[in-house]
A and B are shown apart, each in its own frame.
Chain A
Amino acid sequence: MIAKMEGCRALIRALESESVSVIFGLPGGAIMPVYDALLDSGMRHILVRHEQSAAHMADGYARASGKVGVCMATSGPGATNLVTGIANAYMDSSPIVAITGQVPTSLIGRDSFQETDIVGITTPISKYNFQVKHASEIPAVVRTAFYVASNGRPGPVLIDIPKNVQTETSEVDFNSQLLVRARRNNSDPDPVLVKKAAEALATAERPFILSGGGVRISNAYEELRALSELLSAPVGTSLMGKGCFPEDHPLSLGMVGMHGTVEANKLVQEADVLLAVGMRFSDRTTSRPDDFCRDARIIHLDIDPSEIEKNKEVNIFIVGDAKKTLKGIYELLAGQLARNVRSSLERIKEVKGLLTQQISSNGGKELTPCKVLKEARKVLPRDAIVTTEVGQNQMWAAAYWRTYIPRTFITSGGLGTMGFGFPAALGAKVARPEAVVVDVAGDGSFLMTENCLATSISENIPVIVIVLNNGMLGMVAQWQRMFYKGRYSATRLGRSPDFVELARAYGAHGERVESLNQFSNVLRRAISSDTTTIIDVPIDPEENVLPMVPPGKGIDEMIVA
């Protein structure tokens, strides 16, 4: 269908045809025509106070919903402020489309006011990017951007649109072709390799399944669960995989990695066959990739062929969609396996017992992160969404916040972006307004994007922030205690704002709690209040995240107390 219109209106129309219902952004000179056209559309715009938050909101929206999140900013500083959010989405394979205004084409390359080479800047941190040269290209560019962002291994795509292209009137064809060549379909696994994987798993004595974020992306939860039960194989997850397997399932071991559970880290090293699904053997998961599962036969399943041998040599690599491949393996094995379920459950119990003995001494205080998060789990509904900031708060949440449902644990895994959790919580709440959304924060991280409170109140997006307040940049401080002889360098925050007063200043609700009981009551009220609530929870400044695998050690060489 061909129509004559301005580029900015073509953009809005193309976004509508991708079913975009919400855009997170902040206007500026070089994107004004698009903001004007936006007024005539039914799309919701959520105004941020800093563009980094717009990208994180789009990311949180995408992770909670599985749909592409959209953020928008002007040229120059608007565009560069998006960069951290785009890099964050790239590292965690999150589908977002970022739209930036650009100076008119006649001014490009002249160091014009608010000109920056955002295409050059985002090349290494985006899956693809465009600079649009003519209004007529817009439908094809938008269609391609959404296709690329959400297909295969998802990721961020940036569209940079010079201002004169936004205002140019042109014949625009909305039945456009993709601007990238049709790619080979990587989602169907090679049946020969699926059979090999099934055979390896069938003869395994101590199989272990390690699930990453790919299981969430391909919605392979049921297949993962069916296969794990069939094999009686325990399941550990990477940080990105948390939520892919219900953490109250008897075969669930929680997270593998630097701050993984004792049982997951021990049992993964004991495995004779490891099935790694939709994960990339990152340094935080494996500690030492060469040493990781050294004696196991490893089957690595991923949709991205460039993950083959990137971090770890394996025995069988299957390029394919996790859902289809796990189903394929399951079907080959169903009905012909009779593994002793009890033996793996007993081993899990044995190792878990070990853990309880080792850390049960960590009791005394009234408000510990462990107690607070376990209490929150009791109070919050099963499908509540938890986002995290980065650092100790994140690792405590990974360890103690049990996640039962996919897409309900949202965290910055690859990039480790402090300040991600709060805007991501707002994005998640926009995607799933019926869900209770909670940001587990530290006082350090929270102050990085605290101004999202303004957006939260103005746009009526109520979320709950639990600030685990230790007055420190806690994770760095923990490393200074452990590896730098306790010399604190720049990790004491000094005088922080009063979070209760801060909340009030923005029109939100804030409470400081002194006891677990009080915390529980405040949280209950926050859930039913529909007002953004900050719960300030003072904790011991010297509390460590344990267990921990020190850098450079094997994954089962944990410090537990």
Chain B
Amino acid sequence: MEQETFIIGTIVENKPGVLHKVSNMLRRKGFNIDSISVGPTETSDWSRMTITFRADEATARQLVRQMEKLLDVVRAKILDQSMSVARELALVKLRVEDTRARSDAINYANVFRSRVVDVSPNTLMVEITGTPDKIDAFIQLARGLGLVEISRTGVTALERGLNALNSEKEGAQNG
């Protein structure tokens, strides 16, 4: 079956060990993850995890069911990408030895609507937000300029409109 990139939105209990349980399940079932991002939610009891991975659709559905089988997972869902906003943030550090390189870097950053967040005599750090494709494109350019290091957050995503993971009825689970 055809492989595509899926974004899975999940709400999990905010307890110690939950990330381990999720990542352990993903490993043992052989799901090959591109990114996973975790953070607090509007409710202190819950955290939100966003997982991206490439697979066929049946595998993606199986991943959601395996997630929902974990007792600390409140809900998991494949997000419809046309009905969701997905973003990633990256910090990109560039080597800029002279004025010319520095102005090139700043110009590129502007074109990508990113911001320069730190400057040193020899380096410049850019904060860029967008879809993973946009960040890939910027990093590609940055390689030509002199890339020192990058740190990416992984994708985070929300559905558009009133759809919300926390408001829909719970997924199929059992104790």
Partner-B contacts on A (CB < 8 A): 119-120, 123-124, 127-128, 147-148, 151-153, 180-187, 303-306, 308-310, 313, 319
Contact = CB atoms under 8 A, between A and B. Distances in A.
B175 A148 contact: yes
21 contacts: A119-B17, A123-B24, A124-B24, A147-B175, A181-B13, A183-B71, A183-B170, A183-B173, A183-B175, A184-B169, A184-B174, A186-B173, A187-B174, A304-B174, A305-B69, A306-B62, A306-B69, A308-B61, A309-B58, A309-B61, A319-B172
Contacts of A310: 62, 65
B6 to A, nearest CB: 15
Contacts of B61: 308-309
A124 B175 contact: no
B172 A186 contact: yes
A183 B174 contact: yes
Nearest to A321: B174
Interface of B: 13, 17, 20-21, 24-25, 28, 58, 61-62, 65-66, 68-69, 71-72, 74, 169-175
Given A123-B24, A124-B28, A128-B71, 10 more contacts: A124-B25, A147-B175, A182-B175, A183-B71, A187-B174, A305-B69, A306-B62, A306-B65, A306-B69, A309-B62
A65 B66 CA distance: 29
A123 B29 CA distance: 13
Given A123-B21, A124-B28, A186 B174 contact: yes
A186 B170 CA distance: 12
Contacts of B28: 124
B20 to A, nearest CB: 7
B71 A305 contact: no
Contacts of B175: 147-148, 151-152, 180, 182-183
A306 B68 contact: yes
B71 A148 contact: yes
Given A184-B173, A184-B174, A319-B172, A305 B24 contact: no
Q: Which of B13, B28, B170, B173 has the most CB of A within 10 A?
A: B173
A187 B172 CA distance: 11
A147 B174 CA distance: 11
Contacts of B74: 181
A119 to B, nearest CB: 7
Nearest to A119: B17
Contacts of A120: 20
Contacts of A185: 174
Contacts of B71: 127-128, 148, 180-181, 183
Q: Which of A153, A183, A306 has the most CB of B within 10 A?
A: A306
Given A124-B24, A152-B174, A153-B174, A305 B58 contact: no
Contacts of A152: 174-175
Contacts of A127: 71
Contacts of B170: 183-184
B57 to A, nearest CB: 10
A319 B69 CA distance: 13
Contacts of B65: 305-306, 308, 310
Q: Which of A147, A183, A185 has the most CB of B within 10 A?
A: A183
B67 to A, nearest CB: 9
Contacts of A308: 61, 65
Nearest to B67: A306
Contacts of A309: 58, 61-62
A407 B173 CA distance: 27
B169 to A, nearest CB: 8
B71 to A, nearest CB: 5
A119 B20 CA distance: 10
Closest 4 A/B residue pairs (Cβ): A152-B174, A151-B175, A306-B65, A305-B172
A184 B20 contact: no
Contacts of B171: 184
Q: Which of B69, B170, B171 has the most CB of A within 10 A?
A: B69
A184 B71 CA distance: 11
A87 to B, nearest CB: 12
Contacts of A119: 17
Contacts of A180: 71-72, 175
A396 B62 CA distance: 35
B153 to A, nearest CB: 26
Nearest to B27: A124
Contacts of A303: 174
A306 B21 CA distance: 16
A267 B98 CA distance: 80
A414 B58 CA distance: 24
A30 to B, nearest CB: 20
Nearest to B59: A309
Nearest to A185: B174
A153 B175 CA distance: 8
Contacts of B13: 181
A152 B173 CA distance: 9
Contacts of A313: 58
Contacts of A187: 174
Contacts of B68: 305-306
Contacts of A128: 71
Contacts of A182: 175
B121 to A, nearest CB: 42
Contact of B172 (A153, A181, A184): A184
A182 B174 CA distance: 8
A151 B173 CA distance: 11
A185 B74 CA distance: 14
Contacts of B62: 306, 309-310
Contacts of B66: 306
B41 to A, nearest CB: 15
Nearest to B63: A306
A416 to B, nearest CB: 18
A181 B172 CA distance: 13
Nearest to A130: B17
Contacts of A181: 13, 71, 74
A306 to B, nearest CB: 4
